[in-house]
Amino acid sequence: MRIHLLSVGRRMPAWVEQGFGEYAKRLPKECDLRLVEIDPVPRTKSGDRVRAISLEGERLLQALPKGARVIALDVGGQSWSTEALAAELKRWLASGQDVALLVGGADGLSSKCLARADARWSLSPLTFPHPLVRVILAEQVYRAWTLLQGHPYHRG
């Protein structure tokens, strides 16, 4: 199974690439975490925000792997504890189906992305900068995997 993190944005700071990479490389091949960067739509003061969200949404949907279970990262989604995420990960692994995690751009995900999602996941009611979300997601997937393995990384 592969977990595809589809995230709007490019040219992240080195600490983001290092943080994501550190946790992604710790995961075994049966729980491969891959990052797919989606080009953002340039924002201008007079730009059409709704159009930008829509275009980014189209790009995300086009990048979806065939047959993948789609999880939209959305503040209105379900909040999972570490244990609940581990249970989700266990189901994902058992199914063998790839998973695509969708992270929108500066203005969030399009309604088409939310409609396409099989589930919505909220990391927190707080707003995080999108570069940080990549690192948080990678660490949380790794933490959930270690919990399933009985590894001492998670000290819940």
Six token digits for residue 141: 């997937």
CA-CA-CA-CA torsion sign (62, 144, 129, 75):
positive
**How distant, in Å, are the alpha carbons of 11, 31, 52 from that of 2?**
23, 6, 29
3-state SS assignment for residue 68 = coil
Flag whether 101 is marked binding.
Answer: no
Flag whether 128 is marked binding.
Answer: yes
Residue whose token pair is 């088409």: 112
Other residues' Cβ atoms within 10 Å of the Cβ of residue 143: 19
Flag whether 19 is marked binding.
Answer: no
Flag whether 73 is marked binding.
Answer: yes
Flag whether 5 is marked binding.
Answer: no
Flag whether 55 is marked binding.
Answer: no
Q: Is the CB of residue 81 less than 8 Å from the CB of residue 154?
A: no
- Per the annotation, where are the binding residues? 73, 104, 123-128
- Residue numbers belonging to the annotated binding site for S-adenosyl-L-methionine: 73, 104, 123-128
